[in-house]
C-alpha cells in the first residue's frame, strides 16, 4: 500500500513538474527579465490582439496547475485525517480497559466537623 501511495505521489509530482515547465515556456519574460529591465524599457506598449491568445493559454495553464496542486492538497489532507482517526481509535481502545477499572477511594482520615 505504501509503495502504491509513493508511486501515485511520484506520478502526480511529475505531472505538476511538467505543467510548471510548460508554464515557464509560455512566460519567458517572467523567467528571464528582471524588474529593473522592465522599468528601463519605458516604451509605451500598445494593445495587440494577437497577444491575447498567449495570455489566454497562460491563464489556462495556471488554472490547470492550481487545480492539480489543490487536488493534491485535498488528497493529502484526507489521508492525514484518516491516519489521525485511526490513531485516535487505537488510543481509545487502549484507554477503554483502564477507564473501566473502578478506582477505590480511601476514606478521609479526618472528617470535617459540622458547626
So what's the pLDDT on residue 51? 84
Compare 88 and 115 and report the one with higher pLDDT.
88
Segment 63-104, tens digit of pLDDT: 999 999 999 999 999 999 999 999 999 888 777 665 555 566
- The residue behind cell 489543490 is 70
Confidence of residue 31 (pLDDT cuts 50, 70, 90): very low
Confidence of residue 8 (pLDDT cuts 50, 70, 90): low
Compare 5 and 10 and report the one with higher pLDDT.
10
Measure CA 77 to chain center: 7
The pTM (predicted TM-score) of the whole model is 0.42
The residue extents of the domains of the chain are 11-84
Amino acid at each position: 500500500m505504501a509503495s502504491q501511495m509513493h508511486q501515485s505521489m511520484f506520478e502526480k509530482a511529475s505531472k505538476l513538474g511538467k505543467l510548471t515547465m510548460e508554464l515557464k515556456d509560455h512566460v519567458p519574460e517572467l523567467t528571464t527579465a528582471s524588474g529593473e529591465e522592465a522599468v528601463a524599457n519605458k516604451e509605451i506598449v500598445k494593445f495587440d490582439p494577437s497577444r491575447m491568445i498567449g495570455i489566454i493559454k497562460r491563464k489556462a495553464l495556471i488554472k490547470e496547475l492550481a487545480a492539480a496542486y489543490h487536488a493534491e492538497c485535498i488528497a493529502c489532507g484526507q489521508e492525514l485525517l484518516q491516519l489521525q482517526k485511526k490513531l485516535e481509535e487505537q488510543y481509545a481502545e487502549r484507554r477503554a480497559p483502564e477507564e473501566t477499572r473502578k478506582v477505590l477511594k480511601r476514606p478521609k482520615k479526618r472528617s470535617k466537623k459540622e458547626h
